[in-house]
Structure 1
Amino acid sequence: MPGYGSGPAGPTGGPALGTVPVGDSREAGWPGPEQDAAGHPAAVPAPAPRPALGEGAPLPAAKRKVPAKPAKKKGRNKLVLACGGLFALFGVAYGAGLLLNHSDVPKGTTVLGVDISGTRDEAVSKLQTAFGNRAAAPLQLMVGGKTVELKPEKAGLSLDGQTTVRNAAGSDYNPVTVIGSLFGSERAAEPVMPTDEEKLQVALQELAGAAGSATEGTITFDTGKAVAVPGKPGSTLDVDGSTDLVVKAFRAMVATGTSDPVELPVTTKEPVVDQAELDRAMKEFAEPAMSANATVKIGTKPIAFGAKSLPKILSMQVVDGHLVEKYDLEALKSTYGNTWDGILITRGTGEKTAVTPQDVAGALGKALRGKTPAERTVVVDTNAS
């Protein structure tokens, strides 16, 4: 009768030790040994032997060698220290420079070589002391070989001390400038010298009439009566070509304190005012103006202008080819003096202000054109609106 399996029998009649009944183990759900192709149990590989200590096995933590840290370079440390020292020194110097430059105009600020550092008032005073006389001195000019003078104030040329100081004031935080101030370095500021172009043109035109050989037709009041004077062609100052030269001459005089005569260009000129224009101006204004006294009354106080005062006040000028009267406001004010002091005129804005030379000139112009005594007296309305 067949046994548990086909293997050899053991001493008790059961399967021999070392064999497992294949059928029963599978039925029981036991895991059987793996078999080879012939059905025999596969050999189990023996465990690999442990490597001996020191032959591939990791060393204990206490015996592991730790890589040594590279030694610090001494030269590198010195460089870092030196850079740190320089930076600290720079900070101290910069702070000291800021402390010294706490004024309105920083230390070492100059205008045309003159130190103006300090408060704004001090700086303006220093500018006035150094350049005030230079900026007011007459310019020496030459027109057609003739030397003439031109006052800067009349020609609209000036040194603006207030604006110069305002531009130069304020802290300069540039490290080069701040630290340089500790060693006496300068911070140059540009002088502001504005030009009133309109005043300069008028001044040069007057100069052209006085210095050139050409003359313009005009009317004079020097004899106490109106006299027509025809113009004649000739050489005259080239106004447009002289403008830049005069400005440069003024700035050079302010900077150096000296003024060598500057030769201005001339040109040929024909009179603008012809005989027809002379006749018109004489008839419409000049002859009536000098025919009798002209009276201006403000408040209760009148003043008469006549043959003695009018030649000092009146002149003629060319405007767009026509002769028109011109009033010397300073001479006019000198004539009426303090007569109308304390009298106020109500302006269009409602504001009440004192009498001005312009008020008097406007009234005088109307009176000079009058033909009857009544027309030649003009009352200024102090309540005008």
Structure 2
Amino acid sequence: PKGTTVLGVDIGGGTRDAAVIKLDAALGKRASAPLLLSVGGKTEELSPDKAGLSLDSQATVRDAAGSDYNPVSVIGSLFGGQRIAQPVIPVDQEKLSAALTDLAGVSGSATEGTIKFEPGRAVAVPGKSGQSLDVSHSIISVRDAYRSQVQTGRTNTVELPIAPRDPTITQAELDRAMNEFAKPAMSDLITIKAGDKQIQFGPAKSLPKILSMKAIDGRLVEVYDKKAIEELLEGVFDGITITKGDGKQHPVSADDVAQAMQKALLGTTPAERTQVIDLDPS
């Protein structure tokens, strides 16, 4: 309705689509600006998108339009009154918790045990006790800070609570991950084939760019850097397609290569360390 505003932006008098465009144009920048978080005296940036925080312009406009039926609002708009609609700012709690958990791993003085992949070798790095971000008590602070940022357009540094933290990765888990994955992975070249093309990844240069390990529930899990894989592929599989679950042809992707790498990295012979991407898995 005419005279409807959201955070000072007049979205009334036009179509819903026009209102969404107007809202995004006026508030999109502040809604996507990274949050500034202070953890133990160290300032970190957190992307709203990564943290599951957003301004839902469509839902905001839908809610504003849906309240036309309030007689007071309708009368107010007929006589030139202004009605203020509230922005819809959904929070993906799971995503926010995961983002803060990741942040806890790199902030503060506590460190998690991990395995680093360096040229030609894998190195076990034990964790150490210390202070780290208190994830559960930080969720509300971050949520409120984002809402304030969207409402005011100002980005203020938010000080988050810290708490004592011990590493979740034990020496036994480090040993397991090293023996079961890291050492075999870095033992030799692997070859990935698709169609009539192939590419090799080796421990001297490419594998350290691709591989890392992440602590999840007390266990180290291997992580494949898809962006690094794409860069290293240099288009070697261009023109080769794979039939996916939807029955359609898709270009061979970094995900397909990473999936093939998982088995190849555990092989002990050249044959086992060569994997062929199935182009028609159905």
Q: Same fold (TM over 0.5)?
A: yes
Shift of 1:237: 0.7
SS for the counterpart of 2:281 is: coil
Q: 2:89 matched to which residue of 1?
A: 193
**Matches of 2:63 and 2:191 in 1, distance apart?**
51
**Match in the other structure for 1:157:** 53
Unaligned 5+ runs, structure 2: none
| Partner secondary structure for residue 162 of structure 1 | helix
User: CA, structure 1 residues 215+108, in 2 after alignment: closer, same or farther (shift >3 Å)?
Assistant: same
* Coordinate RMSD, CA, aligned: 1.9
Q: Structure 1 unaligned runs (5+)?
A: 1-105
Alignment of 1:49-198 (within 5 A): 106-117=1-12, 118-170=14-66, 172-198=68-94
- Determine if contact 2:190/2:273 at 8 Å carries over to the other structure: yes
How many residues in Structure 1 have an aligned counterpart in Structure 2? 280
CA displacement, residues 260-313 of structure 1 (integer Å, 9 cap, x when unaligned): 211111111111111111111111111111222222211212122223222232
Label 1:179 to 1:238 Cα distance change in 2 as closer, same or farther (>3 A): same
Taking the TM superposition and a 5 Å limit, the aligned residue runs for 1:195-210 are 195-210=91-106
1:263 and 1:171 map into 2 onto residues whose CA distance is 37
Match of 1:354 in 2: 251
User: Structure 1 residues 142 and 124, CA, compared in 2 at 3 Å: closer, same or farther?
Assistant: same
How far is the alpha carbon of 1:185 from its aligned partner?
A: 1.7
What residue identity is the alignment partner of 1:162? Q
Asked if structure 1 preserves the Cα contact closer than 8 Å seen for 2:36 and 2:156, the reply is: yes
| Match 1:258 to one of 151, 154, 162 | 154
Aligned to 1:303: 199
114-123 vs 177-186, greater mean Cα deviation: 177-186
- Radius of gyration: which is bigger? 1
* Percent identity of equivalent pairs: 62
| Cα distance, 1:170 vs structure 2 | 4.9
**Residue in structure 2 matched with residue 371 of structure 1 by the alignment:** 268
Note the C-alpha offset of 1:236: 0.7
Alignment of 1:318-357 (within 5 A): 318-348=215-245, 350-357=247-254
The C-alpha deviation readout for 1:107-130, integer Å capped at 9, x for no partner, is 112112211121222111111111
CA distance in 1, matches of 2:66, 2:131: 52
| Structure with more contact order per residue of length (Cα contacts < 8 Å, sep ≥ 6) | 2
C-alpha separation in 2, matches of 1:195 and 1:344: 37
The alpha carbon displacement at 1:210 in A equals 1.2
